[in-house]
Structure 1
Amino acid sequence: MIPFADRRSAGRELAAELERWRGTDAVVLGIPRGGVVVAAAVAEALGLELDAVVVRKLGASGHKEYAVGAIADGVRIVTPGAMRWAGMSSRDLERVEAAERDELARRTDAFGSASVELSGRTAIVVDDGVATGASAIAACRALRARDPKQIVLAVPVAPEHWEPPADTVDEFVCPYREADFWAVGQYYDDFRQTTDAEVLALLRAAPTGSGADEEAGP
């Protein structure tokens, strides 16, 4: 069974799991690109502020969708086991990371990265799913430096036994925990690539300020 028609429908389902934050001063932060589509649906349903937190996956050589690590502002994560599985050397990783740092800088300039005030507020980090978890963990660790009251990682789907590190995330919300998991895209009927223009449009259209759209329905 495919749980989600597309990322917006996934966001609406995820919002139902986050109902307790409706109309509060929590901030929803999507991981570009696809995670922002999910996050925008969550923010719209709950009347919350929307922002982006930019992360770049460090993909395996010859299999870019498989993360051996991730980078974000002031954060670098590398998973040695994933490196061994991918047969990557330190030099291979250096080449991948150099290219991804350029893209990280470009996307930060384009989308911003957690530009709203987070001190003392709940940061709800949203992606379209978790596979290895490297990108989500990098995002949460980058946001921890901005002194939020708590960090909630919220994704529509993840492997059954995956959990974020306890020192990185205060709460993990995931309605679909799947045993036979191999890729996030298998749980979407429409998983087409999100464009920069779509991300920018969603960020510009989102309400600002706590409880800015409290009367909006799901």
Structure 2
Amino acid sequence: MALVLVIAWQNRDALVRQLTIPIPISGGGSTSKPAFDAWLAGDEGRSQDFARLEDFLAEEGLSDIVEPWQLARIGGYVASKCDAEPFEIPPEELWPNIVPALRLVRDEVIPTVGPVQVLSSYRTPELNECAGGATRSNHLEFSALDLATEPRTQGEDLYRQLCAMHDAAGPSSRMGLGAYYDLAERGYSGGRFHIDGEGYRNWGRSYTSASSPCGRFD
């Protein structure tokens, strides 16, 4: 049992260490825009689905918050570990779920830390299980975004700003903040963070409130 717990813990930490640079994978190239364009061109159905997603975002007034194609990123680590293509257009019935998160990015995150890019959003149940994700992850419902600033910002100051933003927004915002930074381990300062609109809470590298750095900042 101890060995199983160690392996599961290592998988969770690996998700937190995901990089934003394009990562070559056997399933379908990198997570870059040219790779997405090539992936999209490889299937007419994908192109049609993405066009409808762009239309949906435009109708919601959210087409300029992040680059729409980034919403198809499943994450370089997940794609590499699971030998999967790095993009997945979420099922259409889930598209409304991402609206609260995008509004929080527009109204709270960008005014605080500047422009952002999406590192990962939707994951299928199969990919989530393969990657060792939480069984009730909001990524399964396309209601969460893993983000980094653009250009990339790292270190304590970024997370101080995010934690102050979360505190100021308050419970009425229903903002979930994953602040993947550890004051005791500088390896967790790469600038990745999570935003959703599924309830007011914050957590850190072990996906628990106790691991959040927010309560430890002065």
TM range (shorter): under 0.3
Higher share in helix: 2
Q: Which has the higher contact order (CA 8 A, sep 6+)?
A: 1
Give the number of the structure whose residues are more often strand, by fraction: 1
TM-score when normalising by structure 2: 0.27
Q: TM-score, normalised by structure 1?
A: 0.27
